[in-house]
Amino acid sequence: MTEPAATTVSSKEPIKASELDPKFKYQLLKMHGSEKILKCFQCGTCTSDCPVARYSDSYRPRTLIHMAQLGLKDRVLKSDTLWLCAACFTCTDRCPQDVEVASVIRVFRNLAVENGCIPQVFKDQTASLLESGYAYKIPELRIKKRESQGLPPLPKGNAENVKKTLKGVKFISNAQKQAGGQPTNAQQ
């Protein structure tokens, strides 16, 4: 699959009728975790209690849910802010309408991945995990600094065990494909 344009559509840009996908909300009603999305009456409790929204000018779970209700599928799935949720479940606990907000965000992310929208940072982390067993490549400079300060060497990452653990996780194979690589045997 070719990766869609990386452009993020701001929720503040005027909405065009051509963007609306009226079937999106019905698709969400059938998915585990987002069955109650239409019960949201936009009270804003999820956003006001969200620890991430407190420190972000753009992350608003209420807005993502509203966009989904309106059928703005592309805006939701291409939103960078989708990936800021820390999955703390505060919103789910406090929603007066029993909307499982954190699970709705998970559903959005899964759909985003299926539609080729994975932020570059997660593709890089995936590549690093599969290559080295570490989520981040440790710069040579840092390794030398450890040595110069008499610290013991870092344990070697076990990429083979990581591959076995992640076997069958669709995110991994999607991230690899979108990064231009072929899925490893562990992901096929």
How many residues contact ligand SF4, by CB under 6 A?
27
Nearer to ligand SF4, 33 or 178 (CB): 33
Radius of gyration, alpha carbons of the chain? 19
Pick the binder of ligand SF4 from 6, 29, 43, 169 (CB under 6 A).
Answer: 43
Burial status of residue 50 (CB atoms within 10 A of its CB: 0-12, 13-18, 19 or more): buried
Amino acid letter for position 118: I
Around Cβ 94, how many Cβ atoms within 10 Å?
14
Q: Write out the binding residues for ligand SF4, residues 154-183 only, by CB under 6 A.
A: none
Exposure letters 3-17 (e unless 16+ CB within 10 A, then b): eeeeeebebeeeeee
The window from 34-42, 123-131, 140-148, 150-158 that contacts ligand SF4 (CB under 6 A) reads 34-42
Cα of first residue to Cα of last residue in the chain, in angstroms, is 16
Q: How far is the CB of 52 from ligand SF4 (least distance, A)?
A: 4
Applying CB under 6 A, does 99 fall inside the site for ligand SF4? yes
Which whole-number Å values give the CA distances from 134 to 19, 124, 144, in the listed order? 40, 11, 18
Instruction: Tell me the two tokens of residue 155.
Output: 């344990």
Nearer to ligand SF4, 6 or 88 (CB): 88
Applying CB under 6 A, does 58 fall inside the site for ligand SF4? no
The window from 8-16, 83-91, 109-117, 152-160 that contacts ligand SF4 (CB under 6 A) reads 83-91
Q: How far apart, in whole angstroms, are the C-alpha atoms of residue 135 and residue 133?
A: 7
Pick the binder of ligand SF4 from 85, 112, 129, 186 (CB under 6 A).
Answer: 85
The window from 49-57, 128-136, 137-145, 175-183 that contacts ligand SF4 (CB under 6 A) reads 49-57
| Footprint on this chain of ligand SF4 (rule: CB under 6 A) | 40-46, 50-52, 61-62, 65, 85-91, 95-97, 99, 101-102, 105
